[in-house]
Amino acid sequence: MAKAHRHGRVQGHRRQRRLNVNAPIGVFDSGIGGLSVLQALQSALPHQHFVYLADNAHAPYGEKTDLYVRQRTHAITRYLLAHHQIKALVVACNTATAAAIHELRAQHPHLPLVGVEPALKPAVALSQTGHIGVIATRGTVASDKFARLLDSVQGQARFTVQACNGLALAIEQSTLPQQATPAQERITELLAQYTSAMGSFGTGPGQMDTLVLGCTHYVFVEKQLQALLGPDVRLVSTGEAVARQTRRLLEGAGLLNAGPADRSSPQGMALFTTGDLHGLQAAAERWLGLPPGSCHQAPAAI
| pLDDT tens digits, one per residue of 190-201 | 999 999 999 999
Taking only the tens place, the pLDDT of each residue in 64-120 is 999 999 999 999 999 999 999 999 999 999 999 999 999 999 999 999 999 999 999
Averaged over 15-26, what is the pLDDT?
80
Q: What gap in Å lies between CA 228 and CA 220, rounded to an integer?
A: 14
Q: What CATH number is given for 120-237 in this structure? A: 3.40.50.1860
Instruction: Answer yes or no: is pLDDT of 58 > 70.
Output: yes
**Helix, strand, coil tally for the chain in percent (to 5):** 50, 15, 30
| pLDDT on residue 268 | 78
Q: How many whole angstroms separate alpha carbon 275 and alpha carbon 83?
A: 18
Residue 292 has pLDDT above 50, yes or no: yes
How is the chain split into domains, by residue range?
Answer: 2-116+240-297, 120-237
Report the alpha-carbon distance of residue 37 to residue 28 in Å, rounded: 10
Query: What are the backbone angles phi and psi of residue 31, rounded to the nearest 5°?
Result: -165, -135
What are residue 273's phi and psi, to 5 degrees?
Answer: -140, 145
Residue 10: pLDDT over 70: no
Q: pLDDT tens-digit profile of 119-157?
A: 999 999 999 999 999 999 999 999 999 999 999 999 999
Please give the share of the chain, as a percent, with pLDDT higher than 90.
86
| pLDDT score, position 30 | 96
pLDDT of residue 262: 53
DSSP state of 158: E
Give me the percent of the chain exceeding a pLDDT of 70. Answer: 91
Q: How far apart (Å, rounded) are the C-alpha atoms in residues 8 and 10?
A: 5
**Catalytically active residues, by annotation:** 93, 215
Note whether 2-116+240-297 and 120-237 share their fold. Answer: yes
Q: How sure is the predictor about 17, in pLDDT bands with cuts at 50, 70 and 90?
A: very low
| Each residue's pLDDT tens digit, 245-257 | 999 999 999 999 8
Query: pLDDT digits over 208-238, tens only?
Result: 999 999 999 999 999 999 999 999 999 999 9
2-116+240-297: which CATH number, 3.40.50.1860, 3.40.50.720, 3.10.129.10, 3.40.50.2300?
3.40.50.1860
- On the question of pLDDT at 12 being above 90, the answer is no
Q: What are phi and psi of 229, to 5 degrees?
A: -95, -20
What residue type is 49 in one-letter code? H
Q: What is the mean pLDDT of the chain?
A: 91
Task: Give the Cβ contact number of residue 184 at 10 Å.
Answer: 16
In angstroms, how far is the first alpha carbon of the chain from the final one? Answer: 33
Which candidate, 95, 107, 83, 85, places its Cα nearest to that of 302?
83
